[in-house]
Structure formats: C-alpha cells, structure tokens
Amino acid sequence: MRIRGNVLLQYSAATFVIVTAISIALGIILTKRIADYQISSHVRLYQEVARLTLKDDTEAYALFATGDPGSVTPHLAGLFSEMLSLGNIFRVKIWSRDGTILWSDQTGLIGRKFPDNDGFD
C-alpha cells in the first residue's frame, strides 16, 4: 500500500512504463525502416552493377533483343555467373520482357515462362 500513497513512486513507475513502451515502439519502427532501406539500396546497387557490366556488351543486347534462351554465349554465361560472387546474391536469373528465363545458375529454370509477373511490363 506504499505505492498508493507515494506520488513520487507512482510518477516514476508511470514514467518508466511510458518510456519503455515508446522505446520498444521506436526500436521496432527504426529496425523495419533500416531493413527496408538496406534491401532497397542493395536492389538498386545490384541493378546498377548489372547495367554497368552489360553496358557496352553487344552480345547482351542481342540476347535481350531476341529473347532466345539458346542464344546465351559462353561469354555472357561467364558474366552472369560472376554476379554470384557479389555479396549476398544466391540466385541469378536473366529474364526477357515476356517473362521467359533466358539464363539462370539453376539450369532447370532456363526457358521456363512466367508471364503473370507484372514487373516485366
């Protein structure tokens, strides 16, 4: 019953609970935002690395123009395979605009078509 009569102790307990709740909420919000930022920055970075790697490669332009999985040259396959050595990349897939996988490090996926993915338009 000391707590009910002691205003200072009540104030301290209420302040502790409020500060703890706000700290937990801020920790959750900041962790989510930092994780989202890291993911989006890595996506942008890997896109830029791929763009710069294939920037002046005429074989890459020919592959993307034809969209034929059989037209991947050993040179391009080597470039695509090297992308696996970049940080946390564990799968590389090269897609055509119609959703066909032109090249992948998992050969069973090559030639498969996924036209329902809206990211290719």
Q: How much is the pLDDT for 108?
A: 86
**Residue 119 structural domain:** 60-121
- For residue 117, what pLDDT is reported? 65
Q: Provide φ and ψ at 118, rounded to 5°.
A: -75, -10
| Shared-domain flag, residues 111 and 64 | yes
What is the chain's alpha carbon radius of gyration, rounded to the nearest angstrom? 26
pLDDT for position 43: 81
Q: What is the pLDDT of residue 16?
A: 97
Mean pLDDT by 10 residues, the chain (121 residues): 76 95 98 94 83 84 81 84 79 82 85 72 49
Torsion of CA 109, 65, 89, 29, to 10 degrees: -110
| Residue where one domain finishes, among candidates 11, 34, 53 | 53
Query: Do residue 37 and residue 12 come from a single domain?
Result: yes
Query: Is this prediction's pTM over 0.75?
Result: no
pLDDT at residue number 3 = 64
pLDDT of residue 75: 86
pLDDT, position 105: 85
- Is the domain of 34 the same as that of 86? no
Residues 87, 42 contacting (CB under 8 angstroms): yes
* Residue 32 to residue 29: CA distance in whole angstroms: 5
Amino acid at 52: L
